[in-house]
Amino acid sequence: MGVINVTPDSFSDGGRYLDPEAAVAHGLALAADGAAILDVGGESTRPGAGPVPVQEELRRVVPVIEALACAGGDFALSIDTTKMDVARAAMDAGARMVNDVSALRSDPSMAALVAERGAECCLMHMRGEPRTMQDEPRYDDVVSDVKAFLEERLAFAVREGVPERKIWLDPGIGFGKTAEHNLELLRRLDEIVAIGLPVVVGTSRKSFLGKLTGGRAEGERLPGTIATSVLAWERGASVFRVHDVAAVVDALVVTAATVGSPIVGGNMIDEHDPPDPDDEIDGGGFDPEDEDEIADPAVTVEITGLSLFTRHGVTPPERELGQRLLLDVTFELTDCDAMVTDRVEDTVDYADVCEQVALAAQERSYKTLERLCNAIAGRLMERYGADSVRVKATKPEPPIALPVQEVSVEVWREA
């Protein structure tokens, strides 16, 4: 997600793209560098920033969004605003996502607009407001507090009619948090990811990176931005809001290739194009000329009840003493030569599948079963070229006070 600040006072590049032509050129350059989403904002949210009147914010962002929408390209447009009138005008101009740093608190009626338009929505955690958010921020447990906040705002958005699949979550790095708060959120980001929705992380050029590196200025914080983005990706983040798109894209591509889970190109925003009235309607029935459209036969590989001793969990006893997990995996292959050759060497080695599951489950410790299942699924997809994978992890002796026979989590991934 490339940042386009059409503002005179943003902390990093305030004033550079206040002219609409400069902002549009910058946006197209970010897209060429690999940005799948362009996030256009007309009100600074830096610490201490004051509010911007609606008409001024509209004057800044609408011409930029209109021009970028007309330019076309393989990118989606997002409006960074807390105001419903600005969001409505931006979506009229071509935006398909609302990035609300207030998580629909500044203007709760924004939720109904997002639902009505079928737009994506990013809900971010922020303590207070930009003007006051850095005034001695305190938390009982910053990760637990942020997670609880995001879950509450998610529930609100869903109640207002926004489909859960349209919602992204942002822990709000740098928004009402100390440097240590930011680092703790990055360390335990998998706990936010466990909510089950795409997680957006924005560390780009932020002040805590300068503090960690001896006081470097905004323009000298790219190495810190790259490092934190890579760490966030490893912990499950999906979207990275950055100023320096090309460098971060390269870093993530190399990281993904190294660990064997490729970055998928294109934007994540749903397309809902209406049917073209000029398209021919297929009346059904078999047509020999459609033979190529018939799905190839698929092979389903299923292994159940793989028992492993692991060190996953939230509580210290689970992670230090360990516990037994039962793992079930199912995956589909459309390319399996054994269907034709009947040769053992062309089929899937079930022992190898079990070994790969064990390696993924035991090479490191995860707090959540969701993250563990996702890691196993990624390994199986990479090794066997599976089209889809289901992984179920069961705790037969869960550390719960009430009488429970077992608890389990199932994750499904598709190529």
Torsion sign across C-alpha atoms 340, 341, 343, 347: negative
The answer, yes or no, to whether residue 284 has pLDDT greater than 50, is: no
Q: What values do phi and psi take at 394, rounded to 5?
A: -120, 135
Is 241 marked active-site?
yes
Q: If you average pLDDT over residues 308-319, what whole number do you get? A: 75
For the ranges 99-108, 173-182, 280-289, the lowest mean pLDDT is seen at 280-289
Instruction: Record the pTM.
Output: 0.64
Q: What is the tens place of the pLDDT at every residue in 194-208?
A: 888 899 999 999 989
User: What end-to-end distance do the CA atoms of the chain give, in Å?
Assistant: 22
Spacing of C-alpha 180 from chain mean position: 23
3-state secondary structure 145-179: HHHHHHHHHHHHHHHCCCCHHHEEEECCCCCCCCH
Ordered by where they begin, the domains of the chain are 2-259 (3.20.20.20), 294-414 (3.30.1130.10)
Torsion angle of the four alpha carbons 28, 29, 31, 32, in this order, in degrees rounded to the nearest 10: 120
- Measuring CA to CA, which residue among 270, 255, 303 is closest to residue 121? 270
Say whether 131 is catalytic. Answer: no
Which is catalytic among the residues 235, 241, 390, 395? 241
Is pLDDT of 141 > 50?
yes
Residue 289 has pLDDT above 60, yes or no: no
Residue of 24, 25, 62 lying closest to 42 (CA atoms): 62
Average the pLDDT over 234-255 and give the result: 93
Per-residue pLDDT of 258-275, as tens digits, reads 875 555 544 556 554 433
Q: Cβ distance 151 to 195 under 8 Å?
A: yes
**Mean pLDDT over residues 221-249, rounded?**
94
Give the chain's mean pLDDT: 85
Question: For the residues 68-82, what does the mean pLDDT come to?
Answer: 94
Check 206, 221, 371, 395 and give the catalytic one: 206
Token pair of 268 as six digits: 């994540």
CA distances from 268 to 6, 39, 74, 121, 164 (A): 24, 13, 11, 12, 14
